[in-house]
Structure 1
């Protein structure tokens, strides 16, 4: 059995503010998924993430590391022609009184060269709230995500104006997360309703 832990403080992120080549990009996101079923039915489905997580995360590459943890390749992240393709390990914690959490954990056997290039902190929370739709039980799954990415940029990029490097990276991070979270939200909704023989709510515009 793999023993996975939270990332060590002795990592690339500890160099931020000291090494001019290390940049940190952060964003916060929140949204809601409407599930047209009771709180209990939705909770049971979320608890069985080994059945739906890899399916819904596609086409992102996903590898199960243990019963709770998955290695997920997010896609390419770039700034001024410099690109990385971050892979992170996410632990889906068991639900507790209608709340769920997803956190970053240390990847086993991670290439030291990649560890010196980027670091990711992914912290998500989900809360199940009872609602109704046309008189029938409905659950609103509200989620929040705090995402931080530290990248060691080539020295030539650090010669550009600080504000330009930071703002372009922040903008790109928001765009990537919008694309990933919007697609993942839709797929989770469609997968849940399809697997339970329910009519899926229409796709709604993201709030970010």
Structure 2
């Protein structure tokens, strides 16, 4: 599978809202919405993407694993301002925020199960949210994180820090995300290439908005909790693959 590097920087969007203008600029299209065209069609449209990224922790893998294992202590504060509700021992309901295009918006709420680690690998999978039924969309979220110890590369202010924590741990993760959206009829009246590019970009912005915020806060929270200097933040993003089913 070929890898692609994205040079586009993630934009901070207030309250998780991505407006039409941020997804599609200067398109030159206008859509007349009537009561009939606002009704959804029966067949949903599928968008699929894979992303990978990493973050450096200035500690050994055992210390990082202990922190990640106690997610009930940090998940709520790191996910803020996204709304989080525990729905199980290792699972949470997460209200991501409003996202949309062409006046059509969805406010995804998903259940995430933070599975216990197996040989240094953590997995996060989608689970149903009790008492909640998604209308117009479905999200399948599958992530895997692996802890890999490396040579000391952290920018510690004092050399004594290196003696205490002689290694760093790279948290490498990849995400497979499938989103099924039941668009209104007027969206399907647009050119397929336009719908595809809009959906793909919308999908990337959702991932970046959530991941950039959550990853940075976990990184910050871990180092502050352990009294460590936060390493220089990396802006690298790797976009691997995107698929869209337009003929569904």
TM-score by length of 1: 0.86
Which of 114, 132, 137 is the equivalent residue of 1:118?
137
Q: Output the CA distance in 2 between the equivalents of 1:195 and 1:133.
A: 20
Residues 182 and 206 in structure 1, CA contact (< 8 A), matched pair in contact too: no
Residues 29 and 144 in structure 1, CA contact (< 8 A), matched pair in contact too: yes
Moved over 2 A (4+): none
Q: Output the CA distance in 2 between the equivalents of 1:42 and 1:81.
A: 43
- Flag the structure with larger Rg: 2
Which of 55, 62, 73 is the equivalent residue of 2:77?
55
SS of the counterpart of 1:124?
A: strand
Q: Greater RCO between the two (CA within 8 Å, min separation 6)?
A: 2
Which structure 1 residue ranges, 5 or more long, are not aligned? 1-18
Which structure 2 residue ranges, 5 or more long, are not aligned? 1-40, 154-161, 239-248
Q: Output the CA distance in 2 between the equivalents of 1:176 and 1:57.
A: 14
Report whether the alignment pairs 1:131 with 2:131: no
Q: Output the CA distance in 2 between the equivalents of 1:153 and 1:21.
A: 9
Residues 32 and 142 in structure 1, CA contact (< 8 A), matched pair in contact too: yes
Report the alpha carbon displacement of residue 27 of structure 1 after superposing the two structures with TM.
1.3
Q: Who is 2:224 aligned against?
A: 194
Superposition pairs for residues 21-170 of structure 1, below 5 Å?
Answer: 21-111=43-133, 115-133=134-152, 136-170=166-200
Q: Output the CA distance in 2 between the equivalents of 1:80 and 1:21.
A: 19
Give the aligned length: 187
Report the alpha carbon displacement of residue 33 of structure 1 after superposing the two structures with TM.
0.9
Q: Output the CA distance in 1 between the equivalents of 2:75 and 2:148.
A: 21
